[in-house]
């Protein structure tokens, strides 16, 4: 067996023993040994994408949803550079990825050899571990090195602080397996441990943790649940035990019955904020979706962050304590003037929100976000695009449970949106989940049109891609740039592209949706399909302002 094939087969086999079940391959020549080893392995489902950036975000969606590392393979050169945006998102969001970049052997580097760039530590500090694997040689000891390295990489990607891991693999020719009977015998057995066991067992006792912090029995406490893949139940229980309001961003998956769904609007009312200064705030995850919430965090007399000492979210630098967990004081009293004030404000703001959005059957951006969150059945997955889709969900989504909401909130880019949603739906439905939908903007779709292109032999999810087409960048209409004379060209960026033609080019079914009453039926279907909702940026911005005015008036 030639060395390149031996390394690839041993590495893939060991990763599968560790738990690898999905791999995404971007085609290329130098990565041939890895691609063939992955496709041949019976325990690994493979996905092939022609665009490395789309491939990387597909892997991100798979790994984020399955909560398990996914392998990502490419050839040498700019191919590996196209992984970088997804690597940054995986780093910030704590998503486990195994980046297997093929490379030219050392003797070709720095010589002007074709398709050769410096791939050493290509992703910098964004990875949990980097290893230059070295050129495979037919000498004793290689198998133990490769298998132990695979176990270390898996553990680094999947540990207490999960994230991307980068293995750079230099392959010499030949890159394809030897013909049957040809080639020199390998000097040692290529087999792994008996019984399918991994080379190194990582199933030891979990590290000891400090005990949870007992919170003081104060009335004026607030719980903030930001973006992240953590269990929201302890914080919902804490809200019940203490009576403290729970302010939950959509991708926290904590916006359930105990949560204040209208906090974004409440915290934009100066009189309300002045009357609701918190003595203590407990936060978990990564808050930062709204300026209102970040401003409120600055008012906390004490800010307790639940997280790891080496990696915790404190975007406004107000943390006073970082702890592994929190529990309510035994004397906590849930029914207080503080808790009743928040409940009354939530009821008034919720009524004002729904009254405005239900005034007619027109399907604007705010109503679309609210209704999508409400209409999806239990067991569904909803992917929320960056910019306005996730913010409109935050502004309008009522409390509900039974649906999982995710988004690329690590660095909040719009690149790779379609591919991430496709990967998330694939993982969700492989694990027995129900329908999947995505709410994204027109620029996000155009930025990742390649994410719609799926080969005839590739696994396909059932995914309704709902695209808000306001012919440009809607988020800027609500920011300071909106008054600049060059706003429309530089920030509004009208494109005039036809969503129907984009769908046709990718051979994806297309529907245009105009009325709110037609949304439930439009969401039904099989395969990947595109649903367009056309809106006007100026009208949407005006409605957002009216909504805030209505909530302010409702609070008296």
Task: Dump pLDDT digits (tens) for 275-324.
Answer: 999 999 999 999 999 999 999 999 999 999 999 988 899 999 999 999 99
Question: How buried is 205 (Cβ within 10 angstroms: 0-12 exposed, 13-18 middle, 19+ buried)?
Answer: exposed
Look at residue 478 in the predicted model and tell me its pLDDT. Answer: 66
In the predicted structure, residue 210 carries a pLDDT above the cut 90: no
**What is the tens place of the pLDDT at every residue in 333-382?**
999 999 999 999 999 999 999 999 999 999 999 999 999 999 999 999 99
Q: 126 and 91 in contact (C-beta within 8 Å)?
A: yes
Average pLDDT of the segment spanning 485-497:
82
Q: What is the pLDDT of residue 114?
A: 83
Q: Edge to edge, what strands does the sheet with 246-248 contain?
A: 246-248, 221-225, 280-284, 302-306, 321-323
Which among 104, 113, 21, 25 is positioned nearest to 68, based on CA atoms?
A: 21
pLDDT of residue 542: 94
The pLDDT, as a whole number, for residue 108 is 85
Residue 272 has pLDDT above 60, yes or no: yes
Q: Is 415's pLDDT higher than 80?
A: yes
pLDDT at residue 102 greater than cutoff 90: yes
pLDDT score, position 206: 60
Angle at Cα 483 formed by Cα 481 and Cα 489, nearest 5°? 70
Q: Tens of pLDDT along 215-234?
A: 999 999 999 999 999 999 99
Strand partners, 48: 25
Looking at residue 208, its pLDDT comes to 63
Rounded to 10 deg, the angle between the 537-554 and 388-396 helix axes is: 30
pLDDT band at 493 (very low <50, low <70, confident <90, very high): confident
Which residues share a beta bridge with 142?
none
Residue 207 has pLDDT above 70, yes or no: no
Confidence of residue 204 (pLDDT cuts 50, 70, 90): low
Confidence band, pLDDT 50/70/90 cuts, at residue 18: very high
93, two tokens: 């969001």
> Of 114-118, 167-171, 409-413, 424-428, where does mean pLDDT reach its minimum?
114-118
How high does pLDDT run on average in the chain?
94
Q: Give the model's pLDDT for residue 275.
A: 97
Residue 281, strand partner residues: 222, 303
**What does the pLDDT read at residue 411?**
93
Whether residue 159 has a cis bond before it, omega within 30° of 0: no
| Separation CA 222–CA 55 (nearest Å) | 40
Percent of the chain at pLDDT exceeding 70: 97
Region 484-503: what's the mean pLDDT?
86
- Could you tell me whether strands 70-74 and 246-248 are parallel, antiparallel, or unpaired per DSSP bridges? unpaired
Residue pair 130/123 in contact (Cβ under 8 Å)? The answer is yes
- pLDDT recorded at residue 188: 96
- Non-local (6+) Cβ contacts of 549 within 8 A are none
- Mean pLDDT computed over 431-437: 97
Q: What is the DSSP string of 455-519?
A: -TTS----EEEEEEE-SS-GGGGGSGGGGSTTHIIIII------HHHHHHHTT--EEE--BGGGH
Strands 22-25 and 70-74: parallel
Give mean pLDDT, residues 85-97. 97
From the list 174, 164, 105, 95, the residue with the least C-alpha distance to 133 is 105
- The pLDDT assigned to 420 comes to 98
Q: Is the pLDDT of residue 329 over 80?
A: yes
CB neighbours of residue 283 within 10 Å:
27
**What letters, b where the CB count within 10 A reaches 16 and e where it falls short, cover 216-242?**
eebbbbbbbbbbbbbebebbbebbebb
**Is the pLDDT assigned to residue 409 strictly greater than 70?**
yes
- Contacts of 148-151 with CB under 8 Å at 24 or more apart are 148/199, 148/200, 149/11, 150/11, 150/14, 150/15, 150/18, 150/199, 151/14, 151/18, 151/198, 151/199, 151/200, 151/202
Q: Is the pLDDT of residue 205 over 60?
A: no
The pLDDT, as a whole number, for residue 130 is 98
Q: Per residue in 105-164, pLDDT tens? A: 999 888 888 888 999 999 999 999 999 999 999 999 999 999 999 999 999 999 999 999
Mean pLDDT over residues 508-514, rounded?
A: 97
pLDDT tier for residue 49 given thresholds of 50, 70 and 90:
very high
Q: Mean pLDDT, to the nearest integer, of 545-553?
A: 98
**CA distances to 96, 127, 266, 467 from 165, in Å:** 8, 5, 42, 33
């Amino acid at each position: 067996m030639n060395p390149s094939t031996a390394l690839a087969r041993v590495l893939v086999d060991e990763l599968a023993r560790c738990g690898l079940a999905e791999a995404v391959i971007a085609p290329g020549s130098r990565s041939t040994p890895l691609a063939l080893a992955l496709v041949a392995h019976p325990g690994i489902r493979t996905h092939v994408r022609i665009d490395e950036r789309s491939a990387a975000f597909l892997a991100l969606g798979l790994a984020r949803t399955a909560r398990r590392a996914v392998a990502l393979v490419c050839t040498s050169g700019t191919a590996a550079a196209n992984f970088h945006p997804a690597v940054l998102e995986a780093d910030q969001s704590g998503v486990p990825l195994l980046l297997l970049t093929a490379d030219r052997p050392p003797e070709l580097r720095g010589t002007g050899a074709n398709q050769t760039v410096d791939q050493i530590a290509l992703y910098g500090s964004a990875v949990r571990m980097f290893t230059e694997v070295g050129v495979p040689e037919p000498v004793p000891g290689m198998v133990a090195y490769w298998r132990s390295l695979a176990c270390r990489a898996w553990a680094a990607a999947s540990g207490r602080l999960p994230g991307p891991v980068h293995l750079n693999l230099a392959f010499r020719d030949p890159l394809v397996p030897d013909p049957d009977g040809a080639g020199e015998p390998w000097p040692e057995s290529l087999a792994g441990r008996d019984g399918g066991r991994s080379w190194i067992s990582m199933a030891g006792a979990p590290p000891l943790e400090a005990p949870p912090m007992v919170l003081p029995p104060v009335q004026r406490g607030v719980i903030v649940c930001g973006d992240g893949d953590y269990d929201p139940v302890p914080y919902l229980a804490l809200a019940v035990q203490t009576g403290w309001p729970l302010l939950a961003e959509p991708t926290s998956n904590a916006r359930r019955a105990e949560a204040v769904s209208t906090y974004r609007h409440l915290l934009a009312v100066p009189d309300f904020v002045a009357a609701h200064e918190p003595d203590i705030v407990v936060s978990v995850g990564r808050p930062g979706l709204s300026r209102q919430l970040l401003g409120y965090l600055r008012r906390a007399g004490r800010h307790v962050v639940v997280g790891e000492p080496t990696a915790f979210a404190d975007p406004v630098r107000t943390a006073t304590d970082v702890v592994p967990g929190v529990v309510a004081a035994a004397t906590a009293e849930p029914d207080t003037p503080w808790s009743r004030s928040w409940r009354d404000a939530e009821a008034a703001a919720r009524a004002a929100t729904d009254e405005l959005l239900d005034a007619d059957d027109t399907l604007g951006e705010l109503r679309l976000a609210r209704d999508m969150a409400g209409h999806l059945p239990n067991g569904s997955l909803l992917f929320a695009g960056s910019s306005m889709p996730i913010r409109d969900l935050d502004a309008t989504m009522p409390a509900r449970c039974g649906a999982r909401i995710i988004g690329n909130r690590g660095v909040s880019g719009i690149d790779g949106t379609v591919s991430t949603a496709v990967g998330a739906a694939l993982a969700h439905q492989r694990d027995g989940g129900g329908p999947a939908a995505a709410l994204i903007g027109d620029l996000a779709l155009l930025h990742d049109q390649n994410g719609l292109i799926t080969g005839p032999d590739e696994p396909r999810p059932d995914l309704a891609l709902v695209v808000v087409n306001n012919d440009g960048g809607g988020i800027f209409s609500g920011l300071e740039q909106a008054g600049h004379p060059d706003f429309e060209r530089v920030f509004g960026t009208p494109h005039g592209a036809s969503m129907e033609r984009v769908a046709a080019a990718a051979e994806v079914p297309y529907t245009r949706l105009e009325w709110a009453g037609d949304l439930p039926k439009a969401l039904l279907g099989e395969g990947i399909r595109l649903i367009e909702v056309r809106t006007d940026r100026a009208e949407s911005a005006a409605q957002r302002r009216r909504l805030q005015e209505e909530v302010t008036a409702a609070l008296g």
